Amino acid sequence: MKRVLIDTDPGVDDALALIYAFKSPEIKVEAITTVNGNVNLETASHNLLIILNLLNLTEFPVIAKGEAQPLVKPLIDAKDVHGEDGLGNTRELMTSKGELKYDIAECQFSELSADDVILEMIDTYPYELIIVALGPLTNLSKAIQKDISCFRKVQSVYLMGGVFTEYGNITTNAEFNVFVDPHAAHEVFNAGIPIHIAPLDVTHQVELTGDRLKEELIGREDIISQFISDSTHAIMTFYQENVGFYGFHIHDALPIAMLNHPELFMSVDAHVQVETEGELTSGMTVADLRKPTVTDSNAIVYVEVDADSFLETYFKTILS
């Protein structure tokens, strides 16, 4: 059983990743922290409470709010992809009884900030805690700035972010999570900790089509199935109009799968650098993935996934 802290900015694909994590027998989620990204911090934190309520985790013990702004750059979001509420415009949906269809859990956020919770959890489980970062890395960088010696007791960081051989999804050269806060990403990659990366290069290999989703959910009336159906329509419409297929890439579930089923992936050691200042390349992740051996590796970059097997195990897990 792997002990995990998830840092997230929910987000439709974050929501699907959180459901996957809590339903995975291979891991135990010890804490969740929220950060600005797909939506602002308050919206992300509200969305986390909706997801916890879906999972009947109404007394989940450790949740904390983190950074509302990137370290240096102005705040941006991805509401055009995820909907105004970040969850595919589901927050205002009502039942036939006139009640909110997706209510929030009555969990209480910690009085500690996310960076303090991250350090506290590492201190509680030294060399055992794994951090899964699904959004910009601002909270992690703040924890590093506060106590790098403690942070280096983390077992590893698994993150969704970056792009190396494909076009980015926010600019030509950059992936959204790194682009939002490249200075934070730079700090994390230079912190001297084990890092596993799911970049767009591998997440783009998994196309969850509308037809596949409909097939998986047909005949199911449970609340999680309803939420998945309701929340994904907006993002699939965005993809239809901007990417060319009715579906979406289920980015944030990949780091969870890397933990659960590493046998589904191929990876390479690399030395990853982040461009923080480039006028045209801010947020670009740079690494030579061709080298068979890298003496100064600071990350393991995942480059290939068995997409069919991943989707099969993903749906088997979340719909169990």
Q: Return d(Cα 192, Cα 196) in angstroms, integer.
A: 13
Distances (CA, A) of 208 to 13, 41, 73, 163, 199: 11, 27, 32, 20, 17
Q: What is the DSSP string of 195-227?
A: EEEE-HHHHTT-EEEHHHHHHHHTT--SHHHHH
Displacement of CA 186 from its chain's centroid (Å): 18
Given a contact cutoff of 8 angstroms between Cβ atoms, the answer to whether 36 and 42 are in contact is no
Displacement of CA 281 from its chain's centroid (Å): 22
Given a contact cutoff of 8 angstroms between Cβ atoms, the answer to whether 144 and 151 are in contact is yes
Q: Is 271 a catalytic residue?
A: no
Can the peptide bond before residue 11 be classed as cis, meaning omega within 30 degrees of 0?
Answer: yes
Catalytic residue among 82, 186, 196, 251: 251
Active-site annotation, residues: 251
